[in-house]
A and B are shown apart, each in its own frame.
Chain A
Amino acid sequence: MMERDDQLLLAFLEGSLPEAERDALLDRLDREPELSAKLRDAARGYWAVTDEVRASSATGATKTPRVDPPRPTSLPNRWAMVAAAAVTLLISVPATAWVTLRSGTPAPAPIEASLGGMPAPDQASYVVILHGIWGDAGSITADVASGRAAQYWGWATDLADRGLLVAAGDLAWDPVRRIDATGGTAIYTEAIQDPNYVVGMFTVRAESYEEAVALARECPHLRFGGSVTVREVSMGFVTVPGMDDWSG
């Protein structure tokens, strides 16, 4: 019952509740002050969030733009996880938002050998690095973004089906700091418009560098104005903190 009320109030707030249900809800709101207070609190939150997203879009999110949707907590299987990685990485690209989505700074995960992901002795692993946000990121609709994300999903799941995907991960957008060699000065850069800006990483297994490049050529990122770099992992595979292991 409570969940149903939440849904009704949310639909009311988002302007999507049909007229008959709207009137019925208004009657209840008149009678139930607690329900009315819930609506009011949610309205403040809704307006604050949507105002902020709108303001960020309008200004091009020049101030600390960051989109980093958290990984879904209850994914049904690893294919959904692949999807989540692709979607959170790539759906987020056009949404020029500002929000720091993680609560505080998570403790860095230890770098550890990923035994399950270790390539066979005759098979090297390669990191496929995705650069650059979509060329038309500021102008596409959510549906278009969703359609594109599905293409990344298809690409990643196909690699996984073929036993070639070791890891997939999205990268937080900021802070972007490059440490120079003259004393460790941290330089903050707002590099999102930089075509070399790294937006994601996948690790794949391949027989050779050329084969890894061939896999990378199929990456949908290339169709949307991004570029891809392929690098061989020279000393066996280690999991990268924040990336998921797809080998299991």
Chain B
Amino acid sequence: MTEPGASTADAIRRAASGDAEALDEIAAAHRSRVLRTAIHLTGDPDLAEDVTQDVFVRLQNALLGFRGDADLSTWLYRVTLNLCRDHARRRSRRAEVGLDQINPVDNDTTNPERALALDRLRDALRQALANLPDEQREVVTLRFISDLPYAEIARLTGLPEGTVASRVFRGLRRLGETVESRHLEIIK
């Protein structure tokens, strides 16, 4: 993996002071990585393009806070993850309630259609979680509901940390598969 040159602290500084060329340099250096991350996370090239565009729009406002390329890279990575989540969520809810019903406020339950859609998603997730094998449900729960770190879960369960992580990952995969199939059923 080779990106076309790492962004430098100088480019960041120049971009932060309004130098559009410097911003283009940074974008050129990181765009591919952001786009590939988004593609692998969403599986949708169009959505991934939207995410990438949003990431770099946000970058313009965030540049002043970076000390160097490592900060920038980590920021881009995290924002990409968050925006993939946001875009996927919006797409999912849009499909469920119809474009005209979308309310821009997240978790708005004053719109009955939207509230119903949220309930359906929650029901699907609850069902999927309840149906996980015990060994996966246990660690997924401890990790995300009880918010325990992996080391603590390993200590509680007597399992190696790697095994805990692996079980969590497999549980998430299974949840994802179930939620997606449920989603596809709903939008058919």
Interface of A toward B, CB cutoff 8 Å: 2-4, 6-7, 9-11, 13, 15, 19, 22-24, 26-27, 29-30, 36-53, 55, 58-59, 67, 69-76, 80, 83-84, 87-88, 91-92, 95, 97-104, 142, 145-146
Contact = CB atoms under 8 A, between A and B. Distances in A.
Given A42-B172, A73-B157, 8 more contacts: A7-B169, A43-B85, A43-B172, A47-B85, A67-B146, A74-B159, A75-B158, A97-B145
Interface string B138-157: 10111011111100100011
Contacts of B102: none
Given A72-B138, A72-B158, A44 B145 contact: no
A48 B130 contact: no
Contact of A51 (B37, B89, B156): B89
Interface stretch (B7-15, B18-26, B53-61, B71-79): B71-79
B177 A102 contact: no
Contact of A59 (B85, B107, B148, B166): B107
Interface residues of B, number: 64
Given A19-B74, A91-B148, A80 B129 contact: no
B158 A51 contact: no
A103 B130 contact: yes
B174 A45 contact: yes
Interface of B: 1, 3, 33, 36-37, 40-43, 70, 73-74, 77-78, 81, 84-85, 88-89, 107, 118, 121-122, 125-126, 128-132, 134-135, 137-138, 140-142, 144-149, 152, 156-159, 162-163, 165-166, 168-177, 179-180
Given A43-B176, A55-B107, A26 B70 contact: no
B130 A102 contact: yes
A40 B158 CA distance: 29
B179 A53 contact: no
A76 B158 contact: yes
For the complex of A and B, the 9 pairs showing the least CB-CB separation, nearest first, are A45-B175, A44-B176, A45-B176, A45-B172, A41-B176, A6-B169, A6-B166, A142-B147, A76-B158
Contacts of B41: 13, 39-40, 43
A36 B173 CA distance: 12
A49 B140 contact: yes
A7 B166 contact: yes
A109 B161 CA distance: 32
B157 A69 contact: no
Nearest to A47: B85
Contacts of A41: 172-174, 176-177, 180
Contact of A26 (B36, B74, B145): B36
A97 B158 CA distance: 25
A49 B164 CA distance: 17
A26 B81 CA distance: 14
B162 A7 contact: yes
Contact of B170 (A6, A71, A101): A6
A24 B36 CA distance: 12
A4 to B, nearest CB: 7
Contact of B176 (A30, A40, A50, A84): A40
16 contacts: A3-B162, A10-B166, A13-B41, A36-B40, A38-B173, A44-B180, A45-B176, A45-B179, A48-B176, A49-B144, A69-B142, A70-B134, A73-B135, A95-B147, A99-B141, A100-B129
